Structure 1
Amino acid sequence: MTGPHLVYVADPMCSWCWGFSPVVAAIRARFGDSLPIRPMMGGLRPQTTKPMDAAAKRTIRTHWEHVHEATGQPFDWAFFDREGFVYDTDPAARAVVIVRRDGDGPALDMLRAVQAAFYAGNRDVTDAAVLADLAAAQGVDRDGFLAAFETEDAKQETWRDYGISHQAGIAGFPTLLAGEGDGAPYAPVTRGYQPADAIIPALERWRTAVAG
Structure 2
Amino acid sequence: MTGTDTSLFYIHDPMCSWCWGFRPTWDALKRALPTSIHVINLTGGLAPDSDQVMPIAMQQTIEDYWHTIQQQLGTEFNFDFWRKNQPRRSTYIACRAAIAADNQGAQDTMIDAIQQAYYLRALNPSDRSVLLQLAAELELQTETFTRDLESPVTHAEFKRQRALAHSLPIQGFPSLVLKRGEQLAGITLNYLDVKPMLDAIAA
For normalisation by structure 2, the TM-score amounts to 0.87
- 93-102 or 61-70: which moved more? 93-102
- Runs of 5+ in structure 2 lacking a partner? none
Structure 2 vs 1, CA of residues 148 and 42 (structure 1 numbering), >3 Å: closer, same or farther?
same
- Please show how residues 120-139 of structure 1 align to structure 2 within 5 Å: 120-139=120-139
Count of residue pairs the alignment pairs up? 201
Tell me the TM-score normalised to structure 1 length.
0.84
**2:187 corresponds to which of 186, 189, 199:** 189
Runs of 4+ in 1 over 6 A off after TM superposition: none
Letter in structure 2 aligned against 1:124: N
- Unpaired segments of 5 or more residues in structure 1? none
Per-residue CA deviations over 1:65-112 (Å, capped at 9, x if unaligned) read 111112222111111114533221011000111223345xx3223212
Residue in 2 aligned with 1:35?
37
How big is the shift at 1:133?
2.9
Give the aligned partner of residue 200 of structure 1: 195
Q: 1:179 to 1:53 in 2, by over 3 A?
A: same
Hey, which of these two has a bigger chunk of helix by percent? 1
Q: Distance in 2 between matches of 1:85 and 1:206?
A: 38
For 2:78, the equivalent position in structure 1 comes to 76
Mapped contact 1:50–1:86 kept (Cα < 8 A) = yes
- CA shift, 1:128, in A, is 2.4
Matches within 5 A, 1:147-186: 147-168=147-168, 170=170, 172-180=172-180, 182=181, 184-186=182-184
Contact 1:128-1:146 within 8 A present in 2 as well:
no
Distance 1:3 1:102 in 2: 25
- Structure 1 residues 32, 73: CA separation in 2 closer, same or farther (over 3 Å shift)? farther
Q: Quick one: structure 1 residues 132 and 32, their matched pair in 2 at CA, closer, same or farther if it must change by over 3 Å?
A: farther
Q: Secondary structure at the match of 1:186?
A: strand
Root mean square deviation of aligned Cα: 2.3
Within 5 A, what are the aligned runs for 1:35-114? 35-82=37-84, 84-103=86-105, 106-114=106-114
Take 1:18 and 1:71, find their aligned partners in 2: how far apart are those partners? 10
* Contact in 1 for aligned 2:169/2:177 (Cα 8 Å): no
Q: Which amino acid aligns with 1:147?
A: R
Residue 77 of structure 2 contacts residue 120 of structure 2 at CA under 8 Å; is this kept in 1? Answer: yes
Report if aligned partners of 1:8, 1:175 keep a CA contact under 8 Å in 2.
yes
Q: Distance in 2 between matches of 1:137 and 1:84?
A: 23
For 2:172 and 2:192, the matched residues in 1 are separated by 19
CA contact (8 A) 1:46 1:89 kept: yes
